[in-house]
Chains A and B, each alone.
Chain A
Amino acid sequence: MSALLEIDHLTKRFGGLCAISNCDVKVEAGHTHGIIGPNGAGKTTLFNLITGIYKPTEGHIRFRGESISGLRPGRIALKGVGRTFQNIRLLKSQTVLENVRIAFDSQLHYSPLEAMLRVNRFGRDETKSVAACLELLDPFGLADHAHDLAGDLPYGSQRKLEIARALALKPDLLLLDEPAAGMNTGETSDLTTFLRWVKEHYRVTLVLIEHHMHLVMNLCDRITVLDFGKTIADGTPDEIRANPRVIEAYLGGEGDE
């Protein structure tokens, strides 16, 4: 079986700084793949490269066997790569429903002229979109808040809304950038269950950046460890736990700590 996402000798330099250097990651379809590593290891840069916000300096990114490196971010999203952001990027002055609808709009096919004159497919598509988005919000517990402003939601709900919004794209691959950031242990374990459900229900492949080891070890089928932009380990949770290089990267080598 070929991998859903293949990252091949990827390098990204910002001037003299090498944020990602010669990095390889392979994500199998249907897996949950964890990306871990100390702060500044290049995890978010990797996400930004996959989603096209940055262009790779060298190397290739293939999604479903097709090269996506260098495509515009909007195009990559439409190919089926959804993502959330570490520092939540909701449209805060728009309602919850509107946030989801904007992502769902990629599935509406009416033309500008049909929209300007409100004819033909327009009405049908719009009605369908509202119904589908409300339905999507329901399992996230957000349907009752559909008409609240996204910025007014509590922090945890904003994170959930971001996931719901990414799912409205009907992605095959969902990139989650620290979904458990700022959550306590109880909330994190709820999130673990929730993400498992999301994966089953929407049949998406998950890639997540996370610092909560408990969540990563519980949820992921495979883990890639980055340090200073390099892949230092790749394997199952058990392999990673036992890997001396990982322990060194996290705890500092030579018994410093």
Chain B
Amino acid sequence: MSRFLDSVARCRWALPALVSAGFAFVVACEFFPILNDYSKVVLITVGINIILCASLNLVNGYMGEFSVGHAGFMALGAYASALMTIKWLPASFFELPMGVLFGGVVAALIGFPLALLSFKTRGDYLAIITLAFLMIVKSAIENISYLGGPRGMTPPVLTTLPWTFFWVVVTLWVIRNLVYSKFGRAITAIREDEIAANAMGVRVREAKILAFVTSSFFGGVAGALYAQVNFFIDPKSFDIVKSTEILVMVYLGGIASLGGSIIGAVIFTILLQVLQPLGTWRMVILPLILVLLMLFRPRGIMGMRELPWFVPARELFKRLRP
């Protein structure tokens, strides 16, 4: 059995085939009544969470920093795209892609100064700075009446399953490419030993900026998709609880692993739905799962390992890590 799984894992055409099949399926769902609306929203949420999880993994996993501000980038993307779709753009096919792209760009622009802060401080201190960033974003939005203040905004429902699927594929592909390049190696070197990285000629600042900006771009993309699902966004949707959820997914799936990010996002989202009947109690059970996970598998399900599907052929000689 395990040999069979191994050969599947090493099969180079399996991933493109799966992606094509997945795309065909989500497009079919748009035209035929295969799934009900509830299942569609759950699947879209899974997709958004995969984007969030993979993009935060770039900073918290591959680079080994600890950012708790990811919900802030989500908020920036959500509000930027909502402005596009509600106020600035006429309704058309391009409304959503333009809005999402704009959301990502706005988040990336704000992500840049945060990268500058990470030159000076790491670990706990950077966590506090990103927490402050999150609170600033939230209270800024609450106090700008153009953005609806605490009452929030009501963007049109535009996010479809195919668009979500498209952005999931783009996110994973781009982050995968970045990770298996000199920039990814630089980011990993910074995590392992910044002094050694410096001595090896790693451009530490450039690498950090690139990781933070890319991560915030996709955080913004996820926020933009999220904004056009729920009819409604308000500043409270992007507080520390949201950031914590993303962190849970990242550490559940495993740090420095895209396969892990997918697994983490899927398990977390599905679990949240399955435990719905328990009401408030699920907020007791989920953290408990996290505690148990940290005790028995501190690196998460796929921590520091990668699904061979995501490893470029050129790098496949690399041993699968224990």
Considering the chains assembled together, what is the distance between the CA atoms of A117 and B268 in angstroms? 30
Contact of A91 among B177, B181, B189, B204 (CB under 8 A): B189
Find residues 54-109 in chain B having any chain A CB closer than 8 Å to their own CB.
none
Q: Which of A52, A77, A116, A126 contacts B200 (CB 8 A)?
A: A77
Residue contact A83 to B182, C-beta cutoff 8 Å: no
Contact residues in A for B192 (Cβ distance below 8 Å) = 91-94
A94 and B188 in contact (CB under 8 A), knowing A102-B197, A105-B202? yes
- Residues of A with C-beta under 8 A to B186: 102, 105
- Least CB distance, B182 to chain A, in whole angstroms: 4
Q: Is the CB of B200 within 8 A of A103?
A: yes
A89 B199 Cβ-Cβ under 8 A = yes
Cross-chain contact A85 with B183 (CB below 8 angstroms): no
B199 x A105 contact (CB < 8 A) = no
- Asked whether A77 lies within 8 Å of B199 as measured between CB atoms, the reply is yes
Q: How far is the CA of A67 from the CA of B312 in the complex (A)?
A: 42
Q: Does B304 contact A (CB under 8 A)?
A: yes
Within 8 Å of chain B (Cβ to Cβ): is A112? yes
B residues 199-218 touching A (CB-CB < 8 Å): 199-205, 210, 214
**Residue interface mask A62-104, B partner, CB < 8 A = 1:** 0000000000111001100011010001111111001001110
Q: Is A118 an interface residue (CB 8 A)?
A: yes
- Using Cβ atoms and an 8 Å threshold, which residues of chain B touch A110? 181-182
Q: How many residues of A contact B (CB 8 A)?
A: 44
What residues on A are CB-neighbors of B193 within 8 Å?
89, 91
Q: Kindly state whether residue B132 has any CB partner on chain A within 8 Å.
A: no
> Does B41 count as interface, using CB distance less than 8 angstroms?
no
In the assembled complex, the Cα of A92 lies from the Cα of B312 at a distance in Å of: 22
The CA-CA distance from A158 to B231 in the complex, in Å, is 58
- In the bound complex, how far is the Cα of B205 from the Cα of A128, in angstroms? 25
Instruction: Give A107-133 as 1s and 0s: 1 = Cβ < 8 Å from B's Cβ atoms.
Output: 010101001111000110011011000
CA distance A130 to B314 in the complex (A): 9
Q: Does B317 contact A (CB under 8 A)?
A: yes
Best-buried of B177, B196, B199 by chain A (most CB within 10 Å): B199
Say yes or no: is B120 at the interface (Cβ < 8 Å to chain A).
Answer: no
Binary contact readout B308-321 vs A (1 if CB under 8 angstroms, 0 otherwise): 00001010011101
Residue of B nearest to A127 (CB): B314
**A105 touching B185 in the complex, CB below 8 Å, given contacts A53-B195, A74-B203, A116-B174:** yes
Closest to B314 in A: A126
Q: How many A-B residue pairs have CB under 8 A?
A: 106
Q: How far is the CA of A126 from the CA of B203 in the complex (A)?
A: 18
Q: How far is the CB of B321 from chain A (nearest CB, A)?
A: 8
Chain B interface residue bracket vs A: 20 to 34
Near A by CB (< 8 A), chain B positions 34-58 give none
- Whether B201 pairs with A112 at a CB distance below 8 angstroms is no
Residues of B within 8 A of A117 (CB): 174, 177
Residues of B within 8 A of A126 (CB): 181, 314
Q: B198 to A72, Cβ gap below 8 A?
A: yes
Q: Which chain A residues (154-175) contact chain B, with CB distance < 8 Å?
A: 165-166, 168-169
Q: Does B135 contact A (CB under 8 A)?
A: no
Contact A51–B199 (Cβ < 8 Å): yes
Which residue in A78, A116, A168, A169 is a CB contact (below 8 Å) of B177? A116
Given contacts A106-B201, A116-B177, A169-B200, contact A101 B183 (CB under 8 A): no
Q: Which 7 A-B pairs have the closest CB atoms?
A: A115-B181, A73-B198, A105-B182, A77-B201, A106-B201, A89-B196, A103-B200
Known: A77-B201, A98-B185, A102-B202. 14 other contacts (CB 8 A): A73-B199, A77-B198, A78-B201, A89-B196, A91-B193, A91-B196, A92-B192, A101-B185, A102-B182, A102-B189, A105-B185, A115-B178, A147-B319, A166-B199
Q: Can you list 12 contacts pairing A with B, beta carbon distance less than 8 Å?
A: A53-B198, A72-B198, A74-B198, A74-B204, A77-B198, A91-B189, A105-B182, A106-B201, A115-B178, A115-B181, A127-B314, A166-B200
